[in-house]
Amino acid sequence: MDVYRPKLDNICFLASASEEAEAARRRLSHIYGSSPADHADVIVALGGDGFMLQTLHRFMNSGKPIYGMHRGTVGFLMNEFRIEGLLDRLAVAEVSSIRPLIMKAVDVAGTAHEARAFNEVSLWRQTYQAGRLKLSIDGVIRLEDLACDGVIVATPAGSTAYNLSAHGPIIPLGAPLLAVTPISPFRPRRWRGALVPDRALIRLEVLEGNKRPMSAAADHTEIRDVREVTVRQDRHSESLIMFDPEHSWEERILAEQFKY
C-alpha cells in the first residue's frame, strides 16, 4: 500500500555491525553521498532483518521511510543489494505503513514493563518444564489452561518470522489481523492457534509461575519471570518501509506460501 512518494534529496546510509554491511555503506556513501539521519529524507538500512527491526524502532513516528538492502543473514524485510540505480529504485519503491504491538508485562516482583514489537511478542518457558498459561481475548477467557513451550502474538510483518517457524499462518501486510500461535502445545494438544482482529486486547496470565517461570519478549526486548502480559496494536505509532515493486510485500507473502 503506497503512503506517499518521499523526497530523495538527502539519503542516510546505515549499516549493521558486520564488515560486509559496513563496506557497502562506505561504497554507497561515496557514490551517492550520505546525510545525517536527522536531516535525511529516506533511510537506507544495510544488513539483515534484525538490523531492519532496529531501524524501524529507531525511526518510529519520524515520517522517514526505510529502504533495506540485504547485507546480513536473513533478508525477508530487505530488498536485493545492488550498487547501481539506487535513486531510480527509491523513486519507484512502494511505501507501506506498519504499526507495532505494544506489550505490557508485569514480573514476579510486581514491576511493570512496556515495549513495542514490529514482528512479534512471544512468551516461552525458562526451564525444562512446560509453561502454563491462561489466554483471554478482550476480557473473555478462551483457554483456561494452555500447557506449552510458549505463545507467539505476531503482526502481519512478523508472521513470516518466528510465527511461521512455529507453524503459524502467514498474514498479508494489509490484513487487520494478528496471529496467536502456540509453541509446542501439550494441552490442548490439537489447538494450533487463532487469528484475531488487530484491535483485540490479548492477555496471557502465567499459571504456577514459581514452578514454571516464563519470559516475554517484544522483538529485541526481553523481560524475565513474567506473571502477566497484555498485547495490543499501538494505533498511535507507525514506521514506513519501502520495497521494490517487483518484490513487493504482497508478492513475498504469496511466494512464501507456495514454497515447499
Give the residue ranges of the annotated binding site: 49-50, 119-120, 149, 157, 160-165
Q: Which of 44-53, 106-115, 131-140, 246-255 has the lowest mean pLDDT?
A: 246-255
Q: Which of 233, 236, 246, 241 is nearest to 67 (CA)?
A: 241
User: CA-CA-CA-CA torsion for 252, 254, 258, 259, nearest 10 degrees?
Assistant: 10
Structure pTM? 0.89
Give the residue ranges of the annotated binding site for NAD(+): 49-50, 119-120, 149, 157, 160-165
- Among candidate residues 9, 38, 41, 49, the one labeled active-site is 49
Q: What is the pLDDT of residues 130-155, one digit of tens each?
A: 999 999 999 999 999 999 999 999 99
**Per CATH, is 101-233 categorized as 2.60.200.30?**
yes
CATH number listed for the domain at residues 11-99+238-257: 3.40.50.10330
Contact 246, 78 (CB under 8 A): no
Residue 222 and residue 104: Cα distance in Å, rounded? 12
Percent residues over pLDDT 70 in the chain: 97
Backbone angles phi, psi at 162, to 5 degrees: -55, -40
Q: Return the pLDDT at 85.
A: 94
Q: Return the pLDDT at 254.
A: 76
Q: Return the pLDDT at 6.
A: 61
Residue 77 and residue 70: Cα distance in Å, rounded? 8
Cell numbers that stand for 211 in this block: 514452578
Residue ranges of domains in the chain? 11-99+238-257, 101-233
Residue 213 and residue 225: Cα distance in Å, rounded? 6
Reply yes or no on whether the pLDDT at 93 is more than 80. Answer: yes
Reply yes or no on whether the pLDDT at 1 is more than 50. Answer: no
101-233 and 11-99+238-257 share a CATH fold: no
Q: Which of 47-61, 63-77, 183-197 has the lowest mean pLDDT?
A: 63-77
Give 182's strand partners: 151
Q: What is the pLDDT of residues 157-177, one digit of tens each?
A: 899 889 999 999 999 888 999
- Concerning whether 38 is annotated as a catalytic residue, the answer is no
Residue predicted with more confidence, 190 or 75: 190
